[in-house]
Every structure is written in C-alpha cells, then in structure tokens.
Amino acid sequence: MIAQVLPPPPGVAAWTGWEERVRLMVKPRRYEHVLRVAELAAQIARANGLDDMRAYAAGVLHDIARDLPDHELLRLAPPECDIDAAHPLALHGRAARTLLERWGYQDRVVLDAVEDHTTGPRGGNPVSSCVYIADVSEPGRGVNADIRELALTDLTAALERAIVSKVTYLQGRGIQVHPRTLKAYHALPCNAHLPCPT
C-alpha cells in the first residue's frame, strides 16, 4: 500500500471521522502503533493530572503523514535544515500538522504535540511530552519500558530520559541529531548534569 493524501471526508468534525482518516492514511501495522501510542499517552496524562482526551487525540493523529512518500512530506513541510532535506521522514510530524490544519483541525495543543513527536517537545505543552514519551516507549516497540513506567509517576524525569535516550541512540550510530532535538535536549532541566552532544 502506498499512502496518498486524500481529501477529507464530509462531516469530518466528528472524532470518529478523524480516527477513520488516520486508519485510511497509514499501513495496518502503523495503525496498531498509533492506537497503542494514543492509549499510553492518555494513561500518562491521567497519571500526571493532565488532559487525557487531548493526549489521546494527539496520539491518534501523530503519524497521519508517516506513510506518505518523500515528495509529499517535502511538499507539506519544506525542509528547515540539511537533515530534513536528506531524510524527509524527519518531516512527518510537521507534515501531519499541515494536513490537519488544512482539513480544519484547530486544537493548538494537539497540533503542537503532533508536530513535536518526531523531534521533541518545544516546551510549555505537557501533552507534547506525553505523546513523545508514548511514541518512544509504547509496548509494541519492545524497548524503553523503564521510561514508560517512570512517566506514570514523574513526567519530567521520563521526558529527560526519553530525549537523552534518543540523542544517545542516534549519536551511537553516527546519525546526525536534528537541531530541534538538540534544542529540546539543551532545554532539559537536568542538562547541567548531562554530557553535551554536538
């Protein structure tokens, strides 16, 4: 299956319309991941006294552009840096936001979380933190169970661990870290105690 940008169905305002839109836009295995992220993001939000409905919505919507071809990602989210141009998949969060806004989705908290899930929360939106953590630690991935568990009791510490884990993983494989991810890394409260990546 090759994903393509489809026009929104009439009456897409109903939440079930958004869930169906995602199901149509991604491969079946990706949709299973999406549902696990949404459920975990809502669970993390509830445990931390946050808006679990927005966390769930952002989890469902976060990968709506993930299976689009590179040329569509580049069209929807023009590159901001060399990494974006060389690896268009890094754009799928921004591309998703663009699609959702074009289709009339207006909740900025959810839109920010969708955009931020690929490169890290930009700050001030705890729903973004819930979705970012859920995306890197949902059970289907088979990794980061410690981050998932920590998020239920200490969202800030879990976010720090998730971002550090991502930066460490990328650098350990010689992969350049996205500037937005580095910015999120340097904004961590614990940054004074962390090794500084380049």
Please choose, from the candidates 49, 70, 50, the residue with its C-alpha nearest in 3D space to the C-alpha of residue 4.
70
Q: What is the pLDDT of residue 123?
A: 80
- Tens digit of each residue's pLDDT, the chain (198 residues): 344 444 444 443 456 789 999 999 999 999 999 999 999 999 999 999 999 999 999 999 999 999 999 999 999 999 999 999 999 999 999 999 999 999 999 999 999 999 999 999 988 899 999 999 999 999 999 999 999 999 999 999 999 999 999 999 999 999 999 999 999 998 887 664 555 444
**Sequential DSSP letters for 50-99:** S-HHHHHHHHHHTTTTTTS-HHHHHHHS--SSHHHHH-GGGGHHHHHHHH
Could you please state the CATH topology (level 3) that the domain comprising 15-154 is classified under: Hypothetical protein af1432 (1.10.3210)
Q: What is the pLDDT of residue 11?
A: 41
**Angstrom distance (rounded) from CA 20 to CA 24:** 6
**Angstrom distance (rounded) from CA 63 to CA 136:** 13
Give the other-Cβ count within 10 Å of 157's Cβ: 14
Q: What is the pLDDT of residue 195?
A: 53
Which tokens hold the place of 147? Answer: 């981050």
The three-point CA angle 100-102-104 to 5° equals 70
In the chain, where are the structural domains located?
A: 15-154
Give the other-Cβ count within 10 Å of 150's Cβ: 21
